[in-house]
Amino acid sequence: MRVAILAALTPSPFKVHFMNILRTILRAFVLLLGMASAALTGPYEEALPKFANDSYADTDTAIGAVASSGNPLSIDVVEALRDGRLLIGAGQVFIRRVSGELTNAATGQVWGNPAGELKAVRVNNRVRRSIEAALGSLTLLSADAAKRLEAAHAVFRSRDEAVLPTLEKAIAQEGQTHVRNALENARAAILLSKQDALPMQRLAAIETLRARGDQEALALLSNLPSNAPPDVVAAAGKAAAGIRSRLTFWEAVQNVWYGISLGSVLLLAAIGLAITFGTMGVINMAHGEMVMLGAYTTFMVQELIRSQAPGLFGASLLIALPLAFLVAGSVGVLIERTVIRFLYGRPLETLLATWGISLILQQGVRTIFGPTNREVGTPAWMSGALDIGTMSLTYNRIAIVVFAFAVFAILLLVLRYTPLGLYVRAVTQNRRMAGSMGIRTSRIDALAFGLGSGVAGIAGVALSQIDNVSPNLGQGYIIDSFMVVVFGGVGNLWGTLVGAITLGIANKLLEPYAGAVLGKIALLIAIIVFIQRRPRGLFALKGRAVEA
Amino acid sequence: MSIFDMTRRNLMALTAAALVSSATAQAAKAEETIKVGVLHSLSGTMAISETTLKDVMLMLVEEQNKKGGLLGKKLEAVVVDPASNWPLFAEKARELISQHKVSAVFGAWTSVSRKSVLPVFKELNSILFYPVQYEGEESERNVFYTGAAPNQQAIPAVDYLAKEEKVERWVLAGTDYVYPRTTNKILEAYLKSKGVKAEDIMISYMPFGHSDWQTIVADIKKFGSSGKKTAVVSTINGDANVPFYKELANQGVKATDIPVVAFSVGEEELAGIDTKPLVGHLAAWNYFQSVDTPDNKAFIEKWKTFTKNAKRVSNDPMEAHVIGFNMWVKAVEKAGTTDPDKVIDSIVGIKVPNLTGGVSEMLPNHHITKPVLIGEIKEDGQFDTVWQTDDLVAGDAWSKHLEGSKDLVADWQTLKCGNYNTVTKKCGS
């Protein structure tokens, strides 16, 4: 356009007159443009400078004004603010595009390198909430279904009555069922708390929320506005009662799931001990430190991946598994060869020696890696949660449950079907006879101890996802591990499985009623009583092996 | 008389000579230097927090020596390791005072370790600087509390949440030991005095080393979905916060829905976790590394150079040691001696600049004045100060919100008493 005008303006004698006319027109045009832009200085342009005030209250009001201004740039501004890309400097507001390009927030035009330093507009929780609500109202009609869904959730939370017309429009044109559901939920939430809503609308809203049936719906239904007519109140009360009984059921399911999840952690921590203590009879107080070594191996692997091959991060835990097994396993073999083999049959000395080893390992790691926690990241596929009914199963817990059972199954197969497993069972059942049959018992001892330690190392990889990776990591698990193995029955892998899951579920069923502290105490007392009755645990070994 | 006997006698003589010579060497050295005891765990559970404080003390001593020492003598730090073992704290304190003849001790972290060393400091009449925020309800002649009392941390944090975040429902979650129990008792009394109903307060405790937070986070979610704005006030012991925050993030509890304000989570604790899901959760302290003052910048620079680690973070208890150490130096200079009795008298009223731009003063109750800062966790593991008190807040040894403690005052200057009852007009409550 501009090029065309310039071309027309190319000097030429017989065009001078024409040019003058053109100039006048152009001038008028520019003037008009200026007037138009002055007239355009609406709420959007007025709100922008408020971002530069460095006050949360001003930023908050500016967001509201920008969002309701209808300016096409407002989504960009609010999104930039959310991501820390809204910059201020020299009294002006800029948007740093995701591409790195700098644009003027007022005009949307590309801006060169501004003189002076640019600072990001600061946000706090209050501002973040406003951003979320603003984006909710702005992106309700977005072309991206995921954004629409997010917007619906945001509106459900903000309950902004001003959004209602846009919301109606969004519902009318929504093609995807789950998004429409979310939008209808949002509408119901607004209508229920809206002062001048019709009883009909409210009853429909109550029906929608009853179908939603979660904690938030219950909260909405139990906080009706005071002017609600009696039939609405009655309907809400009925719907709330229905939701409550549904929630009670899901809560029970959730507690059982938490129990299984805790049980799987206990199983992972204890399963290595089931071999070293359960079948070999070594009271290995350094077992927790093997778990810790596994967790630190994960840390090392992730550090390497971060610096060398960031693309592999998603697979970092899988890569860490065999390495953790090797590291912890070889440390286990080393401990067995240098210390424990001289102490077989002397449980008290073994206990003291391995406890000393655990202190040495802890302090060693502390010296090398420092006393502070190390950051082990969670791969994307393990973050987030799966919603079933009203409970949310977090992916990392699901992964750990699956992983724990897989490790258990593999270990069971190794002990049952491999030559190593055969030798280990033979040696633990009758050492002298196994020796007479040509099995090198001392080598088997070392390998079995290495196997148990290696499995503990693998457990460390999983536990690094839910606990601190610090030198003290192992200490937290050693008591629980012994508890599981003793409770389940020494020398029996199945006992360890049943023991771990039972303790996990019992703990989690007790916790909501007794609290975390009393629940744990109650469980310990129960185990003491149980061991008094059945000293050999749930699954006691029978026969001559017991005395060996 | 065999050769064996001869050698043994020689050996004994040699040992005795060695002992005497080392003792005289020590005596000679003691005349030249002023010794400062550092009583922080370098191994065991608490090493995670306390090792840093040992490093800070070494840096402060080195720096003071560069400035020419104290009273014309060089300072010497004596470091011992109480190994996170509470009775060992008392033994090591005794060793520092009687054997190494230190002039003052900087140390302890947990309240139980402080309680364990108290009798030793009283009996041997020495000085302890305690740098960590604690539950209050204590004032001892031999102890100077440079960390925050509850009214310098917990109460302002609750005020902020009520005012800025419009919080109406409160979860007081803590690890089951003396600091959370007392702090939550004070907070509960305070909230109730502000008109919060009992059903809007949920208190829950977990054992030490608790790592399975699923039930508690689910409970908090349930408690927080009543329609009223809910916040969690966490007195959970530093390390256990990491799995707690991880569980919060996994179950989708965001700071914009249910903010968590923590009293034991600082820059050091955050260094070990992925902080992206935690953005917006809060902490209340008297110092943040991100505070933009020239003093703080210079301090961080020195700290990074001293530790030879550009990533090393600084935190609140470190600042407390900086303030405490500078106060002690000034008090010794004022008294002209390191004699504990003289220093205890001269230190009250001493003012030193803190790192956040104010001037802290040692009060007659042996607590100090500090600003209160509320910070939100940022993506880089630092805090963004979102609110701070206009003035410095004077530390209360005895809470004004608890029955039985609100009538007590501590004043070691005029009343010479740590628990003077203003109603009965008697010392000793």
Span B302-336, pLDDT tens digits: 999 999 988 889 999 999 999 999 999 999 999 99
- B130 confidence band (pLDDT: 50, 70, 90): very high
Between B165, B256, B259, which is nearest A132 by CB? B256
State how far the Cα of A387 lies from the Cα of A390, in Å rounded to an integer: 7
pLDDT exceeding 90 applies to what percent of chain A?
Answer: 35
- A382 confidence band (pLDDT: 50, 70, 90): confident
Cα end-to-end distance, chain A, whole Å: 97
Residues A279/A416, Cβ–Cβ less than 8 Å: no
| Predicted pLDDT of residue A386 | 86
Per-residue model confidence as pLDDT tens digits over A186-209: 999 888 888 888 888 888 889 998
Burial of A250 (0-12, 13-18, 19+ CB in 10 A): middle
Measuring CA to CA, which residue among A220, A218, A207, A254 is closest to residue A388?
A254
State how far the Cα of B129 lies from the Cα of B105, in Å rounded to an integer: 6
In this structure, of A205-214, B54-63, B294-303, B361-370, the range with the lowest mean pLDDT score is: A205-214
* Chain B: closest CA distance from residue A49 (Å): 21
**Does the distance separating the beta carbons of A132 and B273 come in below 8 Å?**
no
B residues 257-276 lying closer than 8 A (beta carbon) to A: 257, 259, 268-269, 271-274
| Predicted pLDDT of residue B1 | 40
Question: What number is the average pLDDT over the span B34-43?
Answer: 94
- Strand B33-39 to B74-80 pairing: parallel
Residue with tokens 């709100």: A47
B residues 367-426 lying closer than 8 A (beta carbon) to A: 376, 384, 386
* Mean pLDDT value across chain A: 85
In this structure, of A45-49, A194-198, A293-297, B188-192, the range with the lowest mean pLDDT score is: A194-198
- B182 confidence band (pLDDT: 50, 70, 90): very high
pLDDT exceeding 70 applies to what percent of chain B?
Answer: 92
- B151 confidence band (pLDDT: 50, 70, 90): very high
Asked whether residue B6 carries a pLDDT value surpassing 60, the answer given is no
| Predicted pLDDT of residue A5 | 46
CA angle A395, A401, A407 (to 5 degrees): 130
- A304 confidence band (pLDDT: 50, 70, 90): very high
Rg of chain B, C-alpha, whole Å: 23
Tell me the pTM: 0.81
Asked whether residue A151 carries a pLDDT value surpassing 80, the answer given is yes
Asked whether residue B396 carries a pLDDT value surpassing 90, the answer given is yes
State how far the Cα of B105 lies from the Cα of B250, in Å rounded to an integer: 43
B residues 289-348 lying closer than 8 A (beta carbon) to A: none
Please tell me if residue A363 touches chain B, with a CB cutoff of 8 Å: yes
| Predicted pLDDT of residue A56 | 86
| Predicted pLDDT of residue A18 | 60
Structure tokens at A493: 């892998």
Asked whether residue A29 carries a pLDDT value surpassing 60, the answer given is no
In this structure, of A266-270, B14-18, B29-33, the range with the lowest mean pLDDT score is: B14-18
* Mean pLDDT value across chain B: 89
Question: CA–CA distance from B386 to each of A126, B71, B389 (Å)?
Answer: 11, 42, 11
Contacts of A29 (CB under 8 A, 6+ apart): none
Between B165, B214, B252, which is nearest A126 by CB? B165
| Predicted pLDDT of residue A94 | 87
| Predicted pLDDT of residue B254 | 86
Query: Which CATH number is B154-262 given?
Result: 3.40.50.2300
Residue with tokens 């491999």: A418
**Does the distance separating the beta carbons of A371 and B212 come in below 8 Å?**
no
State how far the Cα of A480 lies from the Cα of A466, in Å rounded to an integer: 16
- B114 confidence band (pLDDT: 50, 70, 90): very high
Between A378, A397, A516, which is nearest B207 by CB? A516
| Residue spans per domain, chain B | 23-149+294-372, 154-262
- The residue of chain B nearest to residue A55, with distances taken between CA atoms, is B386
Please tell me if residue B48 touches chain A, with a CB cutoff of 8 Å: yes
**Does the distance separating the beta carbons of B243 and A469 come in below 8 Å?**
no
State how far the Cα of A472 lies from the Cα of B53, in Å rounded to an integer: 19
* Amino acid (one-letter) located at A132: E
CB < 8 Å to B226, chain A? 219, 222-223
H or E element that contains B38: strand B33-39
Measuring CA to CA, which residue among B224, B258, B255, B262 is closest to residue B241?
B262
**Does the distance separating the beta carbons of A372 and B48 come in below 8 Å?**
yes
| Predicted pLDDT of residue A17 | 65
Residue A387 has phi, psi (to 5 degrees) of -95, 120
Fold category of B23-149+294-372 in CATH: Rossmann fold (3.40.50)
DSSP assigned state of B417: E
Residues B35/B76, Cβ–Cβ less than 8 Å: yes
| Predicted pLDDT of residue A544 | 53
In this structure, of A176-180, A386-390, A420-424, B34-38, the range with the lowest mean pLDDT score is: A386-390
A residues 232-291 lying closer than 8 A (beta carbon) to B: 254-255, 258, 261-262, 265
| Predicted pLDDT of residue B363 | 96
Measuring CA to CA, which residue among A42, A76, A46 is closest to residue A58?
A46
Residue A99's CB is within 10 A of a number of other CB atoms, namely 5
Give B429 or B43, the one with higher predicted confidence: B43
Give B17 or B394, the one with higher predicted confidence: B394
The residue length of chain B stands at 429
Residues B132/B46, Cβ–Cβ less than 8 Å: no
CB < 8 Å to B205, chain A? 515-517
| Predicted pLDDT of residue A37 | 47
- The residue of chain B nearest to residue A476, with distances taken between CA atoms, is B209
Please tell me if residue A445 touches chain B, with a CB cutoff of 8 Å: no
Question: CA–CA distance from A516 to each of A140, A509, A532, B241 (Å)?
Answer: 43, 11, 25, 15
| Predicted pLDDT of residue B31 | 56
Between B212, B243, B376, which is nearest A124 by CB? B376
* Amino acid (one-letter) located at A217: A
Rg of chain A, C-alpha, whole Å: 34
- The residue of chain B nearest to residue A216, with distances taken between CA atoms, is B225
| Predicted pLDDT of residue A529 | 94
Asked whether residue B165 carries a pLDDT value surpassing 50, the answer given is yes
Question: What number is the average pLDDT over the span B160-188?
Answer: 92
**Does the distance separating the beta carbons of B205 and A517 come in below 8 Å?**
yes
CB < 8 Å to A383, chain B? 249-250
Question: What number is the average pLDDT over the span A362-386?
Answer: 87
**Does the distance separating the beta carbons of A124 and B386 come in below 8 Å?**
yes
Per-residue model confidence as pLDDT tens digits over B402-411: 988 889 999 9
Residue B55's CB is within 10 A of a number of other CB atoms, namely 19
Between A219, A378, A395, which is nearest B225 by CB? A219
State how far the Cα of A503 lies from the Cα of A507, in Å rounded to an integer: 6
State how far the Cα of B4 lies from the Cα of A465, in Å rounded to an integer: 62
Asked whether residue A20 carries a pLDDT value surpassing 90, the answer given is no
DSSP bridge pairs for B175: B206
Quickly count helices (H) and strands (E) in chain B: 12, 19
- The residue of chain B nearest to residue A262, with distances taken between CA atoms, is B212
- A35 confidence band (pLDDT: 50, 70, 90): very low
- A364 confidence band (pLDDT: 50, 70, 90): very high
Give A198 or B348, the one with higher predicted confidence: B348
- B77 confidence band (pLDDT: 50, 70, 90): very high
Asked whether residue B210 carries a pLDDT value surpassing 60, the answer given is yes
Question: What number is the average pLDDT over the span B138-162?
Answer: 94
CATH topology match: B23-149+294-372 vs B154-262: yes
| Predicted pLDDT of residue A193 | 81
| Predicted pLDDT of residue A30 | 52
